[in-house]
Chains A and B, each alone.
Chain A
């Protein structure tokens, strides 16, 4: 089937992206609390009005029909924001963090949103990646790209120790196991002096094939913050993870995962190996978390046990639910909001967990599909029978 690029219908998507990018720039730039509050309120009102006038529906359809345009424009948007803040550490660090969290949440989404496998230790698996990177960079001379990969493997490997109870039919067993594991992990880190104890460990910056990511760049006459390097790396990781997870969803495997989540008895009756797909989702998801963790540790140069608490795992789960469980775009937007809002609106920092937990409760009661509910599976976008 030939896919015709119809420019007219791509316009709403492009316009929306432009608007979003502009908002991101303004938001990150805002210094005073009142400016930030104003922008936030303005955005909420604007979205509400746009929904009223049917724009949101048109933009969504436009995004759905032009996958490549959507992805390209998002990439462009991120690059634009990076360029605007090229000399400021903090916005770039935040941007890179958001992108890495998107990778983690994509993995969590595979587990929770597709296969229905509960995982309340997302932060712990992320932490496994972090600590693996810390240990390997400090005690071995393994190239950093390999370190990242090993971080992912460690997370997946340790996760597989939990797999048997996780496979049990009732979700609460998996919930219990993963919560217990998360607590266990943190206690283990705190009492273990070889891993730095409660103070944690330091890490050197990342180096890929001679490219030292902790060195700032010179472009023309301007100095670019070294975090831009990490933004680019994180962007590449997020883009690849996103594409892979979406392709997975748009395939027979995605179908198997959904079937496993929705009705295990029917699965068995039609030959679907429930255990295999739960294991696949759980392992892949943890692998992604470990990968992101390794890069994050090298970026921040530091790991400590109290970054990987149960509360952090809950925030990850909140991102997946708020965004629209099963929807990778939704979770990306949610990740950006959940991570950036408290950084800018200082007064809600303290109330983060309360706020997100409360929002999730409201969503589950009134709009369980999330803010951007998942659509019916579209195996081949643009394909017409």
Chain B
């Protein structure tokens, strides 16, 4: 397995607060990597830095020949990195289809002339994308797939989560970042969601996923490898079983006697 993403001495400071401290880690092509650690350990900050929302103070992030630390969020998306957010960021007044198409930005033609005057061609592109969107959503929920033109605000929280994940998947990324996808869900819903993600992954060979989670069952079940962060540093790495047994990790979560 070759390395897809490698960050080297990545640091991120907010004033006096050090969120990422010389962090170095690697993600392999096609793997599912778990990113865990206590609250405030820098997991979401890591996502924000490699997706260009924040600009790192130091370090580099090598990805398919690019340095993500020097790129804008839009450029990073075009390079095939997508994500979900910890707090739901759907455009609720827009339709579900609209929200999905936001995620599909790089597959659409945004030329003024095309959109205004070449309506037949536009219709063809629209129908093609609708079919793709519907098929993707159907993997997660058959009923939701029939409601694509309803407002995103009209569906329940679980469906909104599904829509967000589909939004991140629809452009066929190479690297997908999931930020606490199971938050607020029951065990059953979580298991279903994870299974659906795995099904989609079967159709996208080479898709690597980094998943931030506090729900350890999820990490145990679907990740091949874990990285544990604490205070912005990597403190442990390896398969879940090994990581869970590591005394440093246990101390980070539970403290000492």
User: Do A and B come together as binding partners?
Assistant: yes
Of B91, B110, B126, the residue contacting A379 (CB under 8 A) is: B126
Q: Does B3 contact A (CB under 8 A)?
A: no
How far is A78 from B122 in the complex, measured between Cα atoms in Å?
32
CB of B116 within 8 A of CB of A252, answer no
Q: Does B108 contact A (CB under 8 A)?
A: yes
CB of B95 within 8 A of CB of A377, answer yes
CB of B74 within 8 A of CB of A273, answer yes
Of A251, A262, A269, the residue contacting B82 (CB under 8 A) is: A269
Residues of B within 8 A of A379 (CB): 126
Report if A259-B91 is in contact (Cβ < 8 Å); known contacts: A248-B115, A269-B83, A376-B150.
yes
Of B51, B94, B112, B116, the residue contacting A269 (CB under 8 A) is: B51
Q: Does A209 contact B (CB under 8 A)?
A: no
CB of A265 within 8 A of CB of B102, answer no
Task: Write the B98-138 contact mask toward A (1 if CB under 8 angstroms, else 0).
Answer: 10011101101110100110010011001000100010000
How far is A253 from B115 in the complex, measured between Cα atoms in Å?
7
How far is A308 from B151 in the complex, measured between Cα atoms in Å?
39
CB of B106 within 8 A of CB of A253, answer no
Residue of A244, A268, A269 most packed against chain B (CB within 10 A): A269
CB of A376 within 8 A of CB of B82, answer no
Of B95, B112, B149, B167, the residue contacting A270 (CB under 8 A) is: B167
Residues of B within 8 A of A253 (CB): 110, 112, 115
Residues of A within 8 A of B101 (CB): 252, 255
- 20 new A-B contacts, CB < 8 A, other than A252-B108, A376-B95, are A248-B116, A251-B115, A252-B101, A252-B110, A255-B102, A258-B94, A259-B102, A265-B53, A268-B74, A269-B83, A270-B103, A271-B73, A271-B74, A271-B105, A271-B106, A280-B112, A376-B94, A376-B149, A378-B149, A385-B134
23 residue pairs bridging A and B, Cβ less than 8 Å apart? A251-B116, A251-B122, A252-B109, A253-B112, A256-B105, A259-B94, A262-B93, A266-B85, A266-B90, A268-B53, A268-B73, A269-B73, A269-B77, A270-B77, A270-B105, A270-B167, A271-B73, A271-B106, A273-B74, A376-B149, A376-B151, A377-B95, A378-B149
A positions within 8 Å CB-CB of B: 244, 247-248, 251-253, 255-256, 258-259, 262-263, 265-273, 280, 376-380, 383, 385
